[in-house]
Homo-oligomer: A and B are copies of this chain.
Amino acid sequence: MTQQRPLFLLSNDDGYEAKGLQCLIEALRPVADLLVMAPEDGRSGAGCSISAATPLRYRIVRQEPGLTLCACSGTPVDCVKVALNEFADRRPDLVVGGINHGDNSSVNTHYSGTMGVVTEGALQGIPSVAFSLCDHSANADFAPLMPYLADIALKTLNAKLPPFTCLNVNFPKAASFKGIRLCRMAHSRWEHELARREHPWGGTYFWLVGDCRELEPEADDTDRYALAHGYIAITPTQLDVTDYKLKDTLKSIFL
């Protein structure tokens, strides 16, 4: 009796047609059956948002042995929920987010729809890993990542991650990488975040922009440091966001 191939559930926040997702499919197909449920269009900055007030739809775009690809009207987190509930006959062994076009290190974690995918996967009790490349362009070069993706995915699958944790993997924009670093999330802060524009018929509107200021530029154990020095940054991420230390120190104030 041969062992069944694992099933990986893939989603992203750049939409089902994005090059990053297509490269991820190509890299992971040799090692797993793939169920892909990705947004119809770009959802950058979707975070862990869900569609509380809008109906959800999905359609099967492509179906062949070992691969089902669907496009969904919802957010990245919605995609995971729809996939798990609609394809419930076989539970995924791993949830994979990405490959994101753009940097999801440091505080970007909180805004990232790609991280939304793996947050939802981990909340559902499934090992989960997100891949991002620090290159925002639609035609970013994912070729240097290809030798690493299946390896990291399979290691995540077998790592026995504790409940309520997932992995945030960021690749620097580079032709090759110096290696892998296990990192902590760098503390940084977005500043100067509004670009003001005037509509031709009158009225002011704004685009979200910004500069990301490092709050600890000298630290050498952060994801930002690793990326700036040519390393792949793996940041283990926890979804129990309780600050246990603060829970004790605040007793004197609130109780």
A170 within 8 A of B: no
A240 within 8 A of B: yes
- Determine how close the nearest CB of chain B comes to the CB of A131; give it in whole angstroms: 14
B44 touches A47 (CB 8 A): no
B47 touches A253 (CB 8 A): no
Stoichiometry (number of copies) = 2
Query: Which positions 72-89 of chain A face chain B at CB distance < 8 Å?
Result: 75, 77-78, 81-82, 84-86
- Identify which of B42, B48, B205, B250 contacts A57 (C-beta below 8 A): B205
Given known pairs A45-B50, A111-B48, A253-B155, the reply for A193 and B242 (CB within 8 Å) is no
A44 touches B52 (CB 8 A): yes
Interface residue stretch chosen among A1-9, A17-25, A60-68, A117-125: A117-125
Given known pairs A52-B44, A116-B47, A237-B241, the reply for A208 and B78 (CB within 8 Å) is yes
- Identify which of B159, B189, B236 contacts A247 (C-beta below 8 A): B236
Q: How many residues of A contact B (CB 8 A)?
A: 80
A146 within 8 A of B: no
B-chain residues with CB within 8 Å of residue A251 when the two chains form the complex: 182
A239 touches B44 (CB 8 A): no
A197 within 8 A of B: yes
A42 touches B53 (CB 8 A): yes
- Determine how close the nearest CB of chain B comes to the CB of A239; give it in whole angstroms: 7
B-chain residues with CB within 8 Å of residue A81 when the two chains form the complex: 190, 193-194, 208
CA distance A204 to B82 in the complex (A): 13
CA distance A119 to B109 in the complex (A): 12
Interface residue stretch chosen among A30-38, A90-98, A160-168: A160-168
- Identify which of B48, B52, B159 contacts A48 (C-beta below 8 A): B48
B159 touches A240 (CB 8 A): no
A246 touches B162 (CB 8 A): yes
A243 touches B238 (CB 8 A): yes
- Determine how close the nearest CB of chain B comes to the CB of A160; give it in whole angstroms: 9
A152 within 8 A of B: yes
CA distance A255 to B236 in the complex (A): 14
B107 touches A247 (CB 8 A): no
CA distance A244 to B124 in the complex (A): 22
